[in-house]
Amino acid sequence: MSSSQDADLVVKALDHAWEQRGQPEKVMFHSDQGSQYASRKFRQRLWRYRMTQSMSRRGNCWDNAPMERLFRSLKSEWMPALGYRNLLEAKKDVGGYLMDYYNRQRPHAFNNGISPVVAEENLKILSGIS
């Protein structure tokens, strides 16, 4: 999270995710058509990590429906109606929602009522990926 949406922010987030996931190969990165995702800096990082970029069609929220759903849940289930007092408070609270509650505790209908972390662990067991 940052006070500005720019290429530095998304590159930093991509670097973090790539490292945290064990530097995976043959990954697709899907986003909307924001300028930060179309930037040379971001596209070069995707190339370095050998990731394929996929972008939503202009004005078509259905292409990015999983992310749109996540943000709807965040806004309707979690965020205070009057917002946050400052960026630090927002970072801490939204980070807790995403990394703890949404990913580890919240049941997801798409995953037959289990959290994303449990669903991913189940897939790893089935596929033999460690």
Q: What is the DSSP string of the chain?
A: --SS--HHHHHHHHHHHHHHTTS-SS-EEEE---HHHHSHHHHHHHHHTTPEEEEPPTT-GGGGHHHHHHHHHIIIIIS-TT--SSHHHHHHHHHHIIIIIIIIIS-BGGGTTB-HHHHHHHHHHHHT--
pLDDT at 61: 64
Lookup result for tokens 């996931």: 21
d(CA 108, CA 12): 28
Is 123 or 61 the better-scoring residue by pLDDT? 123
Q: Residue 39, Cβ neighbours under 10 Å: how many?
A: 16
pLDDT confidence of 56, banded at 50, 70, 90? confident
Is 61 or 46 the better-scoring residue by pLDDT? 46
Is 71 or 129 the better-scoring residue by pLDDT? 71
The pTM for the full model equals 0.70
22 token code pair: 């064990």
Q: What is the pLDDT of residues 84-102, one digit of tens each?
A: 999 999 999 999 999 999 9
